[in-house]
Structure 1
């Protein structure tokens, strides 16, 4: 069955209304346009994100369900505490954004390709340089062994991707992100599409309409720029 999508103008960063998003495939809204900072910021502020593979046109999505971590959801369980001590890990924010993206884009088992293409990496690096995209890094001594990156919309963090080179370091990066965010904001994290990994960690599926209300509420609640300067992070292990 043929799919007909609105094609975005190269000179207009607006998007079609979300009620026009397809149900099959779920959330597909439009094609074309570009990955300019202005368009990406417009997209995230309207619950839209880009997702496409090599050889595909630039596709824009707003799925009917979002995977959301509510405040105080991400905790260090017994296993994560053991990993933290076993590997002697350190954490940072925005010290290696480009490296984190490159690791997230690397091939993975049972996943021959990647959607984090060079043009995506360049686009999000520009957002990072403008202060909108941020990374959390997990280090073992001076080696980057885990991390994540995403876009901050007001005080809501929209996670894009994560990776680990040691067991559970992606999970630990998520915990570090929420702890860091909750120093200046409630701590809401959007991880886009629900999947078993996220649900097992405590993410909640949220209908698009409810996500839009959450997004609109927190988009105007800015966090201090100084909070996202490159720095080390101290992870609260919860030990007495």
Structure 2
């Protein structure tokens, strides 16, 4: 089953407010004399520029589409925002056991294109994906610029789970996740939280709340509070997420055969920052 961090039924997704129309203006200007729509569903260029994407995220908004082949994008500003407090991430006993068993090899940025392609696939309960081909292409470009990252779970060389998102300042905005093996997406998220804590990040944004995320400690906050937290998370992290991942493997190697990267992650998640 696929799990998507930011999926919500389109009827419930609050589209961009009138005050945010300047973002659509980057795509289209209405013909002179035409009446402006209350909500503009703006045609996207072939690739949404990385600078525009980052400016949008720093302003608390993000793009979505209605379906996989949608040529348009719209900009979303939720009234409530889902976040996972980095010190409030819940690791169940079963998840901790699976981490310690080191069931998967977990990596960062080894297969971004494959992860976002998996996340864009339809789910059993939903035929359409909000990750259009244009959004997918845009985030691949954002990844090449160093601002989008993927976490991958591998089993016998096969990609079986993962997630991707956008990173800037000390913020990571989770976009979507998928799982082809039991709890693979949860393990990817656990590694992300541990890496963010090690790297000095301050805010993990999961955009919309789901029961799946709530079970791991996610909470809903008003958008105004989210913006305050976003501002407080300015500045640079201590290291990049790929470097934090490398550190876990180095630490496990230094501890010897009795340790493993999964054990290092499990131990780090029961410590307070």
Normalising to structure 2: TM-score of the pair?
0.73
Q: Distance in 2 between matches of 1:217 and 1:30?
A: 31
Count of aligned residue pairs for this structure pair: 222
Please tell me whether the aligned partners of residues 31 and 57 of structure 1 are also in contact (alpha carbons under 8 angstroms): yes
The structure 2 residue matched to 1:36, chosen from 43, 46, 49, is 49
Query: Which residue is 2:190 aligned to?
Result: 175
- Displacement after TM superposition at 1:67 (Å): 0.6
Please tell me whether the aligned partners of residues 66 and 193 of structure 1 are also in contact (alpha carbons under 8 angstroms): yes
- Displacement after TM superposition at 1:197 (Å): 1.6
Query: Which residue is 1:18 aligned to?
Result: none
Please tell me whether the aligned partners of residues 120 and 130 of structure 2 are also in contact (alpha carbons under 8 angstroms): yes
Please tell me whether the aligned partners of residues 93 and 230 of structure 1 are also in contact (alpha carbons under 8 angstroms): no
Closer/same/farther in 2, CA of residues 142 and 68 from structure 1, 3 Å limit: same
Say whether residues 1:50 and 2:63 are aligned partners: yes
Q: Distance in 2 between matches of 1:183 and 1:86?
A: 21
Q: Please say which of residues 220-229 and 162-171 is displaced more in the overlay.
A: 220-229
- Displacement after TM superposition at 1:75 (Å): 4.0
Unaligned runs of 5+ in 1: 13-21, 23-28
Secondary structure, aligned partner of 1:113:
coil
Closer/same/farther in 2, CA of residues 30 and 221 from structure 1, 3 Å limit: farther
- Displacement after TM superposition at 1:226 (Å): 4.7
- Displacement after TM superposition at 1:207 (Å): 0.4
Q: Distance in 2 between matches of 1:69 and 1:89?
A: 23
Alignment of 1:70-109 (within 5 A): 70-84=85-99, 88-109=103-124
Closer/same/farther in 2, CA of residues 39 and 33 from structure 1, 3 Å limit: farther
Q: Distance in 1 between matches of 2:144 and 2:198?
A: 22
Q: Distance in 2 between matches of 1:48 and 1:172?
A: 27
Q: Comparing both structures, which one devotes a greater share of its residues to helix? A: 2
Q: Please say which of residues 165-174 and 66-75 is displaced more in the overlay.
A: 66-75
Aligned CA-pair RMSD: 2.8
Secondary structure, aligned partner of 1:238:
helix
Please tell me whether the aligned partners of residues 106 and 153 of structure 2 are also in contact (alpha carbons under 8 angstroms): yes
Runs of 4+ in 1 over 6 A off after TM superposition: none
Closer/same/farther in 2, CA of residues 85 and 182 from structure 1, 3 Å limit: closer
The structure 2 residue matched to 1:9, chosen from 19, 25, 36, is 25
Please tell me whether the aligned partners of residues 27 and 42 of structure 2 are also in contact (alpha carbons under 8 angstroms): no
Query: Which residue is 1:67 aligned to?
Result: 82
Query: Which residue is 1:19 aligned to?
Result: none
The structure 1 residue matched to 2:210, chosen from 195, 209, 233, is 195
- Displacement after TM superposition at 1:32 (Å): 1.7
Say whether residues 1:128 and 2:143 are aligned partners: yes
Secondary structure, aligned partner of 2:129:
coil
Deviations 1:136-191 (A, max 9, x none): 11111211111100001211110000000011111111110010111121442100
Closer/same/farther in 2, CA of residues 107 and 67 from structure 1, 3 Å limit: same
Query: Which residue is 2:3 aligned to?
Result: none
Closer/same/farther in 2, CA of residues 187 and 144 from structure 1, 3 Å limit: farther
- Displacement after TM superposition at 1:86 (Å): 6.3
